[in-house]
Amino acid sequence: MGNRTMKVAILAGGRGSRMLQATSSRPKPLLQIGGFPILYHIMRYHGFYEHRHFVIALGYKGDLIRKRMADLCAPNSGPTVPISAGRARRAAQTRPAWVVEFAETGLDTATGGRIRRLRSALGDEAFMLTYGDVVSDVKLTELVAYHRSHGKLATLTAVHPPCRFGRLELDGDRVNSFAEKPVCTGEWISGGLFVLEPGVFDYIAGDATRWECEPLEHLARDGQLMAFRHTSFWQCMDTPHDRQALQDLWCSGNAPWKVWE
């Protein structure tokens, strides 16, 4: 299958209810880290690996995402392209261009339904799927190569989640050590980054289908879901605390997902 790049579908239509104070005026993918929306960080990361054709599923306050990305995609503002009528056109720039498409997927459509509505834009080849609030240092070249090696319909990135609470190591009643942000290495979860074949659309019944439930469960039951294990950095921006942690990493100059110059 060679080293062809893939389209990248990004789910950016949710309400971000766990961050209601911040998302009452703008959607979560537009919340900023280091002065740029987390959505832009995600696109820069994929663009570094030469996956530069993005299909963004809109819903809650999608017009704001269109406008903000159009601003970022103005000529001479970076490796992006202007956007009009839902489809971006290529622009002659000194740096590699992005192609960005938007799809209105409904205000209350579930994640699976949003993916299903992207079918015509994604075409009949394998594509990547991610959420608009997750950053990591997954080596996308290795992820894609792994997907192409096993011949199944779907690959998810399996990660160890950061633990919700600090971890104590005790000697009797004495605390030997304390870790504020440990990683829960005893369990694996889906990291929200997938490589998928078009056959996965057959597993999505309609707008009310949650991708994280029936489709993935049925793919696993059919032996069509494989896991790419990632043990390095991964973080979703699910809460204000998560957002601050990402901001702190960025300000430290050691953000693991910043692989571009």
HSE-up of residue 236 (Cα within 13 Å, Cβ side): 19
pLDDT of residue 219: 96
Phi, psi of 226 (to 5 degrees): -115, 155
pLDDT of residue 15: 87
Which pairs from 117-120 meet CB under 8 Å and 24+ separation? 117/57, 117/207, 118/9, 118/55, 118/57, 119/198, 119/201
The 3-state secondary structure of 33-52, one letter per residue: ECCEEHHHHHHHHHHHCCCC
**What is the C-alpha separation between 203 and 210, in angstroms, rounded?**
11
pLDDT of residue 78: 40
Mean pLDDT by 10 residues, the chain (261 residues): 78 86 88 95 95 96 93 53 40 56 95 97 96 97 97 96 66 64 74 97 97 95 96 93 94 95 76
Instruction: Read off the DSSP letter of residue 172.
Output: T
Residue 194 CB partners (closer than 8 Å, separation 6+): 128, 129, 130, 154, 155, 156, 157
pLDDT of residue 175: 62
**What is the C-alpha separation between 96 and 46, in angstroms, rounded?**
13
Please, what are the domains in the chain?
A: 7-252 (3.90.550.10)
pLDDT of residue 167: 61
Give the CA distances from residue 54 to residues 102, 108, 131, 162, in Å, rounded to whole numbers and listed in that order. Answer: 8, 22, 12, 28
Q: Where are the beta strands (DSSP E) in 105-152?
A: 127-131, 134-136
Using a 10 angstrom Cβ sphere, with 0-12 exposed, 13-18 middle and 19 or more buried, the burial of residue 104 is middle
HSE-up of residue 121 (Cα within 13 Å, Cβ side): 26
Phi, psi of 163 (to 5 degrees): -70, 145
Helix (H) / strand (E) element for 243: namely helix 240-252
**What is the C-alpha separation between 255 and 98, in angstroms, rounded?**
23
Instruction: Read off the DSSP letter of residue 162.
Output: B
Nearest to 9 by CA among 152, 145, 120: 120
**What is the C-alpha separation between 191 and 229, in angstroms, rounded?**
10
pLDDT of residue 72: 83
pLDDT of residue 2: 41
pLDDT of residue 223: 95
